[in-house]
Structure 1
């Protein structure tokens, strides 16, 4: 499972021009699920996302607090293109898990985040929908995680 974590001042997702969800300060997650991902991968990703220290504390010390400690929100979006490989000039998505299976694992991950943190703080787009994502990256801070490379959870 690959995930792009962006620290944001705000983020929103629209489908067919209609606002689906939005957050103010927090994290925007772009989540790509591959054919060999399991619930164990989702468990590791959820713990890491909630624990990673990407925010300042009250003394402006950088990298001191996580999203939970600050009670910020998370906007999560599925993004199968994270596992793309190039065949010539065209992307190939054979490493991405099939939509029906990945939707189940994606929902598992979101439920894990909600259970470990707060259901009201975890927002999402529409799985598999063509959408527009507005992200105001704060910093900019962008972290790439791969569940196959996570240590120290």
Structure 2
């Protein structure tokens, strides 16, 4: 399981021209589920993301986590993070989890985040939809995290 973490001052997701989710300051997470991932990987990645210290403290150093700041989390499913780009000019997706497995693990990840942060601070994209994601990357600060 992989997560592209972006510290944002705001982010939103539109589906079919309608906004379905919006956050202010926090993290936009693009979440990729790979074959072999399970609840253990979801739990570990969720823990890492919520406690990863990428927000500035009073001295301007990255010493605070999302849990420390009280920011929001917008989780967007992103199967292309599981792409094999090692050869050629076209990505392969054989590493990606099957859609039914990925959808369950995406939902499990959201449940874990909501248990830790509260339901009002965790927003989501739409699994399998053609989404338009807008964001203002703060910093810019972007990290790729993995459960493995």
Give the TM-score, by structure 1 length. 0.92
**Residue correspondence of structure 1 range 1-153 to structure 2 within 5 A:** 1-57=1-57, 59-86=58-85, 88-148=88-148
Q: Distance in 1 between matches of 2:13 and 2:141?
A: 19
Paired positions, count: 147
- The CA deviation at 1:24 is 0.7
Which segments of structure 1 move beyond 4 Å, counting only runs of 4 or more? Answer: none
Q: Distance in 1 between matches of 2:15 and 2:146?
A: 27
Q: Distance in 2 between matches of 1:60 and 1:136?
A: 23
Could you tell me which residue of structure 2 aligns to residue 151 of structure 1?
none
**Cα-to-partner distance string for 1:52-91 (whole Å, 9 max, x where unaligned):** 111112x243112111111110100000000112453222
Q: Cα RMSD over matched residues?
A: 1.1
Structure 1: runs of 5+ lacking an equivalent: 149-153
- The CA deviation at 1:137 is 0.5
Give the TM-score, by structure 2 length. 0.95
Structure 2: runs of 5+ lacking an equivalent: none
